[in-house]
């Protein structure tokens, strides 16, 4: 099995767009190891679009941009592997990539063979310039077959933005992860919108085929390719917690060569990552809070963890500070079970409990609470 828990890594697109090079990738690989990202689980280093020459070679194969990657791609992959990381690359199901470079339509098997030769471990497969008369399932299944038969384990990331009801067919193409949404940009509005859109995909996400909310913008602060407005550390914390809680893959999009300590601490929070990477891989479920999903509402997800614990996430994407009441019977623990929760908020380390079957907490605007809970006996009269 190529992947059991949500894949993690770094991707060049959010910050660098076209501005990628052999040197950038090697330096990023160094930092992923020396600064503890690999140890925390971020093991895929992925080059996104814009790595190609505008034309295929005489042999029909894709050619890496000669200025950006003067030694070709294999030495880059070898270097990434030498650091203990896995190497990822990008192509597209259409006639061109989203940035107009040659893509894999009707070259699927040749490209899969090329990627295998270079030592690629991960393919992000986009959905631009779809040829007329072809549908998504056909195009993605073709590449799925090409990868599965290329002789190398290559993780398949179907990046069709949730379009054409991706969630309903992408698993039939063998995708290990698949984009449930359009592109995320570095703004509060975009993060909120993605969290909202995710509700329709979450029940299709499963072990070995995870719904992806797009690369993280944590630590970008408005800089780089999808910089836009930028966010503050509070919303980055909530963004990261939501992605982690809902089993989204976690791909860093910031420039980790120069990242603020606060953002790095968010990305490397082991307890939050452990909820995302829980080996049980249970599906998260939404339990609904005040008002359901509307602009001032607060999504609340629960996820059972291996070993009998439970994670609970309350995400205040609204502009108002809120007091949130969560009756435990919404989670499945009515008082009649004789059980309640002992709750540890993983960002603060503080402990909270429920009283008379209801947990109450205060969540400031843009903040979140993320708990790891133990199921314990209700102690009457204490």
Which amino acids are annotated catalytic? Answer: 126, 183
Q: Which is nearer to ligand GLA, 42 or 251 (CB)?
A: 251
Return the SS3 of 308. coil
98 makes contact with ligand GLA (CB under 6 A): yes
Q: Which is nearer to ligand GLA, 217 or 277 (CB)?
A: 217
- 45, 32 contact by CB (below 8 A): yes
Rounded CA separation 52/66 (Å):
8
| Straight-line distance from the first to the last Cα atom of the chain, in angstroms, rounded to the nearest whole number | 49
262 makes contact with ligand GLA (CB under 6 A): no
Residue 336: other Cβ atoms inside 10 A = 8
Q: Which is nearer to ligand GLA, 19 or 321 (CB)?
A: 19
Q: Which is nearer to ligand GLA, 87 or 347 (CB)?
A: 87
Among 96-104, 110-118, 135-143, 301-309, the segment contacting ligand GLA (CB under 6 A) = 96-104
183 makes contact with ligand GLA (CB under 6 A): yes
Q: Which is nearer to ligand GLA, 48 or 186 (CB)?
A: 48
Return the SS3 of 320. coil
Rounded CA separation 141/202 (Å):
22
Rounded CA separation 268/126 (Å):
28
Given CA atoms 131, 132, 134, 137 in this order, what sign does their dihedral have? positive
193 makes contact with ligand GLA (CB under 6 A): no
> Taking the complex as a whole, how short is the minimal distance between the CB of residue 249 and ligand GLA, in angstroms?
12
Q: Which is nearer to ligand GLA, 98 or 256 (CB)?
A: 98
Among 92-100, 111-119, 254-262, 310-318, the segment contacting ligand GLA (CB under 6 A) = 92-100
* Binding-site string for ligand GLA from residue 35 to residue 54, where x marks contact by CB under 6 A and - marks none: -------------xx-----
65 makes contact with ligand GLA (CB under 6 A): no
Rounded CA separation 248/267 (Å):
14
Beta strands 210-212; 177-179: pairing state: parallel
The residue from 5, 35, 74, 99 that contacts ligand GLA (CB under 6 A) is 99
The residue from 10, 13, 79, 240 that contacts ligand GLA (CB under 6 A) is 13
Residues 328-367 that bind ligand GLA (CB under 6 A): none
Rounded CA separation 23/2 (Å):
28
Return the SS3 of 245. helix
- 241, 276 contact by CB (below 8 A): no
State how far Cα 31 lies from the chain centre.
20
159 makes contact with ligand GLA (CB under 6 A): yes
For ligand GLA, the binding residues (CB under 6 A) are 13, 48-49, 97-99, 126, 159, 161, 183
């Amino acid at each position: 099995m190529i992947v059991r828990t949500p894949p993690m890594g770094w991707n060049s697109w959010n910050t660098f767009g076209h501005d990628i090079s052999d040197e950038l990738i090697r330096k990023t690989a160094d930092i992923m190891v020396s600064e503890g990202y690999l140890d925390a689980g971020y093991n895929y280093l992925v080059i996104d679009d814009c790595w190609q020459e505008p034309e295929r070679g005489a042999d029909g194969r894709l050619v890496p941009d000669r200025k950006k990657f003067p030694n070709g791609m294999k030495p880059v992959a070898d270097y990434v592997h030498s650091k203990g990381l896995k190497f990822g690359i990008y192509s597209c199901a259409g006639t061109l990539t989203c940035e107009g470079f040659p893509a894999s339509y009707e070259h699927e098997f040749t490209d899969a063979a090329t990627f295998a030769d270079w030592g690629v471990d991960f393919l992000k497969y986009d959905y631009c310039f779809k040829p007329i008369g072809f549908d998504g399932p056909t195009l993605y299944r073709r590449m799925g077959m090409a990868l599965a038969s290329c002789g190398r384990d290559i993780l398949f990331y179907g990046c069709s933005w949730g379009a054409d009801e991706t969630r309903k067919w992408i698993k039939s193409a063998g995708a290990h992860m698949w984009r449930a949404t359009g592109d995320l940009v570095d703004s509060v509005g975009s993060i909120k919108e993605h969290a909202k859109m995710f509700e329709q995909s979450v029940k299709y996400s499963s072990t070995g085929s995870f719904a992806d909310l797009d690369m993280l913008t944590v630590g970008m602060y408005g800089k780089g390719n999808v910089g836009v407005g930028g966010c503050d550390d509070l919303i980055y914390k909530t963004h990261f917690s939501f992605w982690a809680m809902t089993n989204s893959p976690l791909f860093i999009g910031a420039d980790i060569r120069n990242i603020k300590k606060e953002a790095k601490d968010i990305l490397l929070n082991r307890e939050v990552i452990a909820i995302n990477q829980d080996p049980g891989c249970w599906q998260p479920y939404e339990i609904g809070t005040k008002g359901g999903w509307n602009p001032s509402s607060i999504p609340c997800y629960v996820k059972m963890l291996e070993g009998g614990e439970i994670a609970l996430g309350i995400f205040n994407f609204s502009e108002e500070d809120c007091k949130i009441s969560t009756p435990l019977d919404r989670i499945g623990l009515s008082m009649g079970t004789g059980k309640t929760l002992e709750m540890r908020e993983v960002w603060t380390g503080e402990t909270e409990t429920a009283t008379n079957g209801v947990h109450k907490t205060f969540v400031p605007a843009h903040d979140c609470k993320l708990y790891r809970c133990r199921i314990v006996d209700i102690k009457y009269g204490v």
